[in-house]
Structure 1
Amino acid sequence: MKHAKRIDESILVCVYYGLNGERLIRRGHKLATLLDCPLYILTVDAKPVDTFDAEKSGYIDRWTELAKELEVEDFIIRDNEKRPIQKVIADIAREKNITQIIVGQSAQSRWEEITKGSFVNVLLKEIPFVDFHIVAVNRPVVDDEGNPFEKGVRAYVIRDSETYKIAFTCPNKASIEGIFFKEIGTDFDNGVFKFSFESKMYEVKIKEGLVTNPHLIHSIYGVTSV
């Protein structure tokens, strides 16, 4: 059961699909914990939820789990939304009495507009009582062991005899599509390959172009499916 929290402060984290969503949510949770105030999460999409692909659904599932884990006040999904993003954010801010908004600065996401003065000015005119926290999310990705990776690129895992290898052009045979993150400072294809299956996210390690833990691929797809 949630304990009573301060009502003079309320935080909204705006996330879009990508690997930095969880980091933004945890950043918001740290701030909400310090202020002892409610935390809300918002994601906006022009498409209906029931048309989301596996990758998008995977992010939604993970954020839903994280919201429960962190006892977030509400995870708000605005799907099939045709209005400008700033209008949606402003409406939610008024509805939830938001005083602070956290967004990610990334050239690869829909939220990149947030970094432009005109966008912020529109929001400030509509919700002048809100403080904005623009968090840089274009740092190298870091795994659980602290290893940094380059920006992710689309890639494919294909079966090669008794193992699996990484490919960067769409193959003519069965493959698994995902994102490859190469380790910084290596000339080889070493890193991690992330992909989604049945609305869940998975990752396998890659060393010199080969999957080092093929048992995960086997367990998910079966030995003969790739």
Structure 2
Amino acid sequence: MKKAKGRMDESILVCVYYGPNGERLIRRGAKIASMLDCPLYILTVDSLPYDELDAEKSAYIDRWKELAEECDVEEFVIRDNEKKPAVKVIAEVAREHHITQIIIGQTAKSRWEEITKGSFMNVLLREIPFVDFHVVSCDRAIKGLEGHFEKGVRAYIVEDEKGYHLLFTHTKQAKYEGIFFKETGTDFNNGVFKFMKHNKMVQVHITDDRVTEPTKIYPELKEETLK
């Protein structure tokens, strides 16, 4: 059971959607909640059922769950298989949890993006006029990285005598399934591979189809090489 927060007159909701800015929004919300000593909630919405989400979306949600634990979040609200408009969902969650402040990313490439535009914001303000809004701009460092990688594609890691290499077709030898983000401007398979291990997201670098950090897949390799 979570300990009671000092100030129950304030309550913060962070709205996140798939993309690199979600973690920054959560940390911003956690910082404000810590300053106010009040409850913090996270909300994400998807029109698909949770068990139909692809690996990339699932990885984002798993990372947000980790952050929720790290930041002592009161509740991580996942509204999957949702058919109502985003404004209705935000309003419902805000009322249910007595939210007084909402944090939204300005440049998220999702339904949240509409919120930064006048018409949608006006509707939202009419739905929940009792709430203060924080519209957070995307971090410039994140913006710069977005153009460095192509859209992620499903891939697999296979072990061989030299270590681990990348494949794009499933085989019985596949150790892990995940998403490969190829660097732009290269003819080779150089980039980043993200996958889940023990309910945590792991990221390894790929150079010419090969994993360059095998100890991230099996940390015990580091101990063995030191013996």
TM range (shorter): 0.7 to 0.9
Structure 2 counterpart of 1:96: 97
CA–CA separation in structure 2 for the residues paired with 1:21 and 1:96: 21
For residues 138 and 106 of structure 1, do their structure 2 counterparts lie closer, same or farther at Cα, with a shift above 3 Å needed? farther
Structure 2: give runs of 5+ residues left out of the alignment: 220-227
1:212 counterpart letter in structure 2: T
For these two proteins, the number of residue pairs brought into alignment is 211
CA–CA separation in structure 1 for the residues paired with 2:14 and 2:200: 22
Q: Secondary structure at the match of 2:179?
A: strand
**2:149 matched to 1:152?**
yes
**Length-normalised TM-score, structure 2:** 0.74
Structure 2 counterpart of 1:139: 140
Residue-by-residue CA offset, 1:58-112 (whole Å, 9 max, x unaligned)? 3323322322222211111111110000100011111212111111123533321
Q: Secondary structure at the match of 2:140?
A: coil
Structure 2 counterpart of 1:213: 213
For residues 209 and 85 of structure 1, do their structure 2 counterparts lie closer, same or farther at Cα, with a shift above 3 Å needed? same
**Length-normalised TM-score, structure 1:** 0.74
Cα displacement (A) at 1:51: 2.3
Cα displacement (A) at 1:179: 4.3
Confirm or deny: 8 A CA contact 2:102 2:134 kept in the other structure: yes
For residues 115 and 4 of structure 1, do their structure 2 counterparts lie closer, same or farther at Cα, with a shift above 3 Å needed? closer
* More helix per residue: 2
Q: Secondary structure at the match of 2:123?
A: helix
Q: Secondary structure at the match of 1:178?
A: strand
Confirm or deny: 8 A CA contact 1:13 1:102 kept in the other structure: yes
Confirm or deny: 8 A CA contact 2:56 2:178 kept in the other structure: no
Structure 1 counterpart of 2:224: none
Structure 1 counterpart of 2:8: 7
Q: Percent identity?
A: 57
Q: Secondary structure at the match of 1:27?
A: helix
Further displaced range: 51-60 or 155-164:
155-164
Cα RMSD of the aligned pairs, angstroms, is: 3.6
Structure 2 counterpart of 1:62: 63
1:204 counterpart letter in structure 2: V
CA–CA separation in structure 1 for the residues paired with 2:55 and 2:157: 19
CA–CA separation in structure 1 for the residues paired with 2:106 and 2:182: 20
Within-5 A mapping of 1:157-176? 162=162
